[in-house]
Homo-oligomer: A and B are copies of this chain.
Amino acid sequence: MAKRETSGVETPYHHGALREALLAATEALLDEAGLEKFTLRECARRAGVSHGAPAHHFGDARGLLTAFAAQSFEQLGARTSDYMARAEKRPYERLVANGLAYLDHALGNPHRFRLMFRSDRLDHTDPALGRAAIAVYDQFESCMRAVLGAAGRPDADLGPCTALAWSLVHGMATLMLDNGMFACRVGDHEAARAMFLDLMRRSRPLFEG
């Protein structure tokens, strides 16, 4: 009778929680060596199953990474909600908190964050990924609406102002992670936070006029 064996201990043929185990293995492998070294076979080995097993849950590597990216957007959304809830109640302070959560998410989980924007490795038709990403965006846009509303700014300013704020924080996050010249001029994670807060302070008049 064929039974899976890991470390000499028989394990049941049906894993029972293989989907979660594969996602956990994905996180461990990304943290260890980054996306470029990630392989589905190694992921299956870490989860203690054969190389064909993941196909039942995710289809292929793209499906697994897409599910992992959806989780990452959910974690980002949880973090932005948390930071905004703990910020001062004025709209601009909540916008700053939203951005700081984004920056902390990126700098705290660099490989997760990088994957989230790998349009070539993700399945953008995946409903869970779409929902999670849209939820994060909607929260950010609502936050910006509150800022502009409180300042009496016209609706036409929403597009440029969201583009400005998102570009600023996303640019800062990606340059901190992937550009040595930028990162060494800013410093460590704490220095990046301080720089971001400073830039948002300087930029305040652009949103509140």
Contacts and interface: CB of A to CB of B under 8 A. Distances in A.
Interface of A: 34-36, 117-121, 124, 133-134, 137, 159-160, 162-164, 166-172, 174-175, 177-182, 185-186, 195, 198-199, 202-203, 205-206
A164 B196 CA distance: 9
A205 B133 CA distance: 33
B174 A119 contact: no
B175 A168 contact: no
A124 B180 contact: yes
A172 B167 contact: yes
A168 B203 CA distance: 12
B160 A171 contact: no
Nearest to A176: B167
A51 B37 CA distance: 22
A8 to B, nearest CB: 36
Given A119-B177, A178-B118, A199 B167 contact: yes
Contact of A166 (B121, B169, B170, B171): B171
B35 A160 contact: no
A203 to B, nearest CB: 6
Given A121-B36, A203-B206, A174 B163 contact: no
A156 to B, nearest CB: 11
Of A169, A179, A186, most B-chain CB atoms within 10 Å: A179
Contact of A163 (B166, B172, B206): B172
15 contacts: A117-B174, A117-B178, A124-B180, A137-B181, A160-B195, A160-B199, A163-B186, A163-B195, A164-B199, A166-B175, A167-B168, A171-B171, A171-B172, A202-B206, A203-B203
